[in-house]
Structure 1
Amino acid sequence: MQTSGSSIISALGAGSGIDFTKLAADISDATFAAQRNQLSARKTSLEAQISAAGQLRGAITGLAGALGDRIRSGDLAPKADIANASVARVSVPAGLSPRGTFSLEVTQLAQGQTLVGRSLASRDALVGEGTLTLRFGTVSGASFTADGARAAVDIAVTATDTLATLATKINQASGGAVSAYVANGASGAQLVMKGKEGAANGFVLEAAGAGGAEAPGDLSYIGWSPATNTTELQAAARDAAFRLDTVAMTSPTNRVTGLPGGFTLNLTGTNTGAPTSLSFASNPDAMSSVMGDFVAALNDIVSQINDLAAPIGGELGNDPGARELRRDLAGLASRVVMPGATGSEPRTLGDLGLAVNRDGTFRLETARLNRALETSPDAVAAMFTTGVNGVFATMDRFARENSLVTDPGSLGGSLKRFETQKAASDDRLAKIAEQQENLRERLTREFTASERRVSASQSTLSFLRQQVDIWSNSDR
């Protein structure tokens, strides 16, 4: 049976000096060139489609994310106004929208306990060996009530510990519950200890010295309890006390949370007997600004769709996911943002001034937005939060719907389909490369074997010719 390799040798002439290795490579390459070129072109097209679909998906998810960041940054939250700014600072966590006006009367600020110990000669004076125990609880006059939920802190004091090293050990052992340092005062070196704010953060020092005498150089000299010595107590631990709309409240710290609407107070002073007013107002300028930026971002997405999904020349010209995104954008203004809105309160993005032009682009009807801000400022402000309803939640759902890989009609479904097809093309190209290499190796073997056989035949022919010549010469 004649093979393709042997027929080529017959046609070209054996022993003609042809590079059969290159010939085998050229034949195997030409055999699969059409398939390979077709798949490579398809792969290039799919890569362009993947890039285009990814670009659009990134644009809509990026818009939703940027909108959420803008809301969380707090510049859309209602602005607080307090008549007596020396009493407190007001802050509103991102995404919350407190409303209304409140009266605030601060009668007491929270503070931590401060102890100033008895004097020693210097910060390097030895304090005496033993155990110093910190117990936490409430100090009231000459009594102390331990907090059973908090473990005591035992501090081992060695014979070489000084007032300075003892302060370091207290800081380390208490884990920040008590801060200690040595102050060099007019009467000598004194250990200063400060606890955290709040009445429950009072503390006592139980000292078990080795010497047993309450004198400098023995650890008992460092100990303190309200029953035995009150002169060292410079400030008692206490809670903040205030009235919000005349309702008495307390807080273990001067940072007060959990207030109506979620606002936070940082108490800075007292105004006993002279309540101040605290009010919240919407920020219409910030809301108008964000709506203008929102419309500009939507128009940028529309421009990208017009380019990438153009019927002629567009990478996504006939893609169902791109068509669905275009349809969804066309209906965006009518999407319900606040399903619980009542009466004339704004419900849709259209009520905030978002409108669609005939060419699919967007515009902001500022008159409609301003009317909503004037007539329903609280309802508009509620639309700019990070809750389950609102502008951000609507755009977040919009982005997720168009990114679903499980929905073949969405942009996410198209992206998954393109990636699957590209993976299949990659697999097919790998198989073709393998088949091409197998063919090259087989042809090389066949050509080499044919060349050897032809070379052997030529040698025999040459020998016979030589013999004939010899015989012919001998007959003369």
Structure 2
Amino acid sequence: MTTIGNDIINRVGGGSGIDTGNLINDLVSLQSTPDQQRLDRRQELLESQISDYGLLRSALSSLEGAVNAVSSKDTFDAKSVSLPDTSLIALTQLNAKAAAGDYRLKIEQVAQPQSLSSASFASQTTEIGKGELTIRFGDWNGALDNFNVDAEKTGATITIDETNNTLTGLRDAINQADIGVQASIVADGGAYKLLLTSPSGATNELEISVTEEAGSPGLAAFSFDESSQSMTQEQEGMDALVRVNGLLVARDSNHITDVIEGLEFDIFNSSSTEVINLNISADKSTAEQAIRDFVEAYNTFFDEAQKLTGFNEESGEFGSLRNDSLADNLVDQVRKFIGGAVPGLEDGFTSLANLGIRTRLDGRLEINEDPDEPNTNFRAAIDKNFGLVRDLFVPTTNSSDAKVKINSYSARTQPGTYEVVISQDPTRGQFIADPLPASFPLDTSGKDYSFDIRVDGVDAATIALPDGKTYNSAQELAADFQTLINLDASLQAAQVKVSVSYNTDTGALEFVSDAYGSDSRVSFAAVGDDMGELGITAKAGSSGLDVVGTVNGEAAFGYGNILLPAINTKADGLSMTITPGATNSTVTFSRGFAGGLSSLVNDFLSNNGLINEREANIREDLEDVDDDRAELERRTEAYRSRLQSQFLAMELIVNNLNNTGSFLDGILDRLPFTAKNN
């Protein structure tokens, strides 16, 4: 600055011409350079922080991936299985639910489906009549003269009209019903037959009842019920029979999923002599490796975070996030959680230190495997207290009463212990008929056993018991009511169902909704002339009740059999299913070490998390730098214009002075009285 100032003085004082352009540039640069350098440093820091927050996000994401591995119950419940060479079965899945132990399997029978064939038709497009086919599942006796309907399985009512009244149309309509029945057309000596194949199993056999449309007969050729069997049974349905450690169990499929919990296998053949020996054992190595991977992932995160928030020895410089409060707080919170006790755990292993994972002086984690320290030895914890290790890492929920079941929790739910008190049981809507005046066997021939029913506010189409059917017991009648009602398309679309039973104490049929709560009700809007013989008249049933209760003394929200704690309480987010008969329960909830750390990391990484918010603020600061640059440019140009005007005015003055000087130069020689005489 001194050199430039002296140069200006010298130039002006010398009385020579001034290089005003360079002089103005120098003056402008002298004024704007400090601000420009400040903005450059600010922009460089902000851009470095954006980049380094990306690195910090990446390090956190890697840590989160390792945390997710140790937060899964399946990681700690992993199993392994040994299976000898055999052609009878093949294992398809082994999951964490499998119970460890030795199992002896003997395959005594393979499951098979029932198959029915129709009479022959000359063409696949031969018209077959119009009307409805009602397909139900159940079990035929050996003589095929008595069918026991399976009330728990839903069949279908299939409409055949002018759009599909051919053999091909019927095949396609049955397949499109998507109830597990396979329909195909088989060529047989120049003619064609419809072949129906049920799902495998003894109780998946088919009953096909036909209602023909007046004036368009033909569908009766596909009936297979107690009163009419136009189709022929080619093969009966059979269950798979498997003996497990001596216990004989039957399953309707050759894909066995629940004989040994957690183990699934397919059956291919049976044998009267071969015994398959299976051994299922716990696989602790999966969890152990996941924990070791987590420790490594944390140390990698910590090293990367130190470079960004502290001194980077590789670059020899401090990280751009050194004085960033959020980055410092993020690392500090993670470190505190790593070293602290897990919220919600009151006994057993409550921190990483209990299983020999400790924090070194430099902040990194290390695994203690020193056999001379048995109380804080990782190997001993895995081998001797694996259950406690599992409970430390994974989320846990417990209830002192099995009738109060915790279904789920949310990010809002705080770990802790809560007292649940039930003051009103949930109940289901129901219709209790009058005692049955009819006796059994009951023949429906010529009777009007039709009715209109409403379940949970949904109206079904008119339903009728089959004409010409004989019921040998009230239990058979109740099963038919249940399947016919649950076959209704409107009820199926609304996913509402009923259970129908016969109460031997009262002698009456009972229709009960599958849903709990005040919206649950079963009513008969209209009934046929003979329904009174079954104790059923047109009237409304009783509504169910919603569960009522408190959590930690505060009124909870009950809907059906679901109880939800009040909003903005510590238990907010818990969802509990209440079974009738529950009175009170103590429930506990812990996210576990992994769940708590995952929740903490997610607070930083989520789309509306703190890192995104901080990055948005930095981008706004960068926009402010751009605005400051534009403002500096405007001020600089204004200063330049002012200097140019001032120097221009100065030059005009100097030029005028120079002109005046030239005019005055020798003026005495030209004035009268002072002029020199020649």
Bin the TM-score by the shorter chain.
0.5 to 0.7
Q: Name which of 175, 183, 189 aligns with 2:192.
A: 189
AA of the residue aligned to 1:37: D
Whether 1:156 aligns to 2:160 is yes
The superposition leaves residues 269-318 of structure 1 with CA deviations (integer Å, 9 ceiling, x where unpaired) of 66789986654211244445445544443443344345443377342556
Cα gap change, 1:458 to 1:67, in 2 (>3 Å) = same
In structure 2, the residue matched to 1:5 is none
In structure 1, the residue matched to 2:137 is 137
Cα gap change, 1:180 to 1:453, in 2 (>3 Å) = farther
Matches within 5 A, 1:408-447: 415=611, 419=615, 422-423=618-619, 425-436=621-632, 438-439=634-635
Offset of 1:203 from its aligned partner? 3.9
Q: Name which of 294, 313, 322 aligns with 2:331.
A: 322
Other structure's SS at 2:304 match: helix
In structure 1, the residue matched to 2:412 is none
Q: Distance in 1 between matches of 2:214 and 2:311?
A: 90
Q: Distance in 1 between matches of 2:134 and 2:82?
A: 43
In structure 1, the residue matched to 2:115 is 114
Other structure's SS at 1:43 match: helix
Cα gap change, 1:210 to 1:221, in 2 (>3 Å) = farther
Matches within 5 A, 1:126-275: 126-140=126-140, 141-144=144-147, 150=154, 152-158=156-162, 162-172=166-176, 174-186=177-189, 188-197=191-200, 199=203, 202-204=206-208, 206=210, 208=212, 218-225=218-225, 227-229=227-229, 232-237=232-237, 253-255=253-255, 262-264=262-264
Q: Distance in 1 between matches of 2:350 and 2:164?
A: 74
Cα gap change, 1:192 to 1:452, in 2 (>3 Å) = farther
Other structure's SS at 2:396 match: coil
Contact 2:67 2:294 in 1 (8 A): no
Q: With structure 1 as the length reference, what TM-score do the two structures score?
A: 0.65
Offset of 1:400 from its aligned partner? 3.4
Contact 1:91 1:264 in 2 (8 A): yes
Cα gap change, 1:211 to 1:399, in 2 (>3 Å) = closer
Structure with more of its chain in strand, by fraction: 2
Cα gap change, 1:179 to 1:206, in 2 (>3 Å) = same
The superposition leaves residues 24-76 of structure 1 with CA deviations (integer Å, 9 ceiling, x where unpaired) of 9979955842442342244245335524532442332132134458x75x796
**Greater relative contact order: 1 or 2 (C-alpha under 8 angstroms, separation 6 or more)?**
1
Structure with more of its chain in helix, by fraction: 1
Other structure's SS at 2:120 match: coil
Q: Distance in 2 between matches of 1:403 and 1:55?
A: 13
CA RMSD of aligned residues (A): 5.7
AA of the residue aligned to 2:130: G
Q: Name which of 33, 36, 58 aligns with 1:33.
A: 36
Matches within 5 A, 1:264-303: 264=264, 279-303=279-303
AA of the residue aligned to 1:322: V
Q: Distance in 1 between matches of 2:346 and 2:44?
A: 49
AA of the residue aligned to 2:67: A
Contact 2:355 2:378 in 1 (8 A): yes
Contact 2:209 2:224 in 1 (8 A): yes
Offset of 1:19 from its aligned partner? 11
Offset of 1:179 from its aligned partner? 2.1
Q: Distance in 2 between matches of 1:129 and 1:249?
A: 44
AA of the residue aligned to 1:432: D
AA of the residue aligned to 2:120: S
Q: Distance in 1 between matches of 2:230 and 2:222?
A: 13
The range that moved more, 99-108 or 46-55, is 99-108
Whether 1:62 aligns to 2:71 is no
Whether 1:47 aligns to 2:50 is yes
The superposition leaves residues 205-240 of structure 1 with CA deviations (integer Å, 9 ceiling, x where unpaired) of 526378777xxxx44434443543386223445666
Contact 1:32 1:432 in 2 (8 A): no
Query: Where do 5+ consecutive residues of structure 2 fail to align?
Result: 1-7, 372-376, 398-590, 661-678
Cα gap change, 1:323 to 1:68, in 2 (>3 Å) = closer
The superposition leaves residues 167-186 of structure 1 with CA deviations (integer Å, 9 ceiling, x where unpaired) of 233322x1353222222245
Contact 1:78 1:283 in 2 (8 A): yes
In structure 2, the residue matched to 1:472 is none
The superposition leaves residues 94-119 of structure 1 with CA deviations (integer Å, 9 ceiling, x where unpaired) of x5463345566666655543222222
Contact 1:143 1:227 in 2 (8 A): no
Cα gap change, 1:442 to 1:197, in 2 (>3 Å) = farther
Cα gap change, 1:19 to 1:374, in 2 (>3 Å) = closer
Q: Distance in 2 between matches of 1:108 and 1:25?
A: 99
Cα gap change, 1:112 to 1:67, in 2 (>3 Å) = same
Q: Distance in 2 between matches of 1:445 and 1:429?
A: 24
Matches within 5 A, 1:323-472: 323=332, 325-326=334-335, 329=338, 331=339, 341=348, 349=352, 354=357, 360-363=364-367, 365=369, 371-372=380-381, 375=384, 379=387, 382=390, 387-388=395-396, 393-401=592-600, 404-405=603-604, 415=611, 419=615, 422-423=618-619, 425-436=621-632, 438-439=634-635
User: Percent of pairs identical after alignment?
Assistant: 14
The superposition leaves residues 369-417 of structure 1 with CA deviations (integer Å, 9 ceiling, x where unpaired) of 55555545x637956985539xx942342343356459xxxxx86x578
Cα gap change, 1:220 to 1:96, in 2 (>3 Å) = closer
Cα gap change, 1:455 to 1:254, in 2 (>3 Å) = farther
In structure 2, the residue matched to 1:467 is none
Contact 1:99 1:261 in 2 (8 A): no
Other structure's SS at 2:126 match: coil
In structure 2, the residue matched to 1:77 is 78
Aligned length: 441
Offset of 1:204 from its aligned partner? 1.0
Contact 1:336 1:349 in 2 (8 A): no
Query: Where do 5+ consecutive residues of structure 1 fail to align?
Result: 1-7, 407-411, 465-476
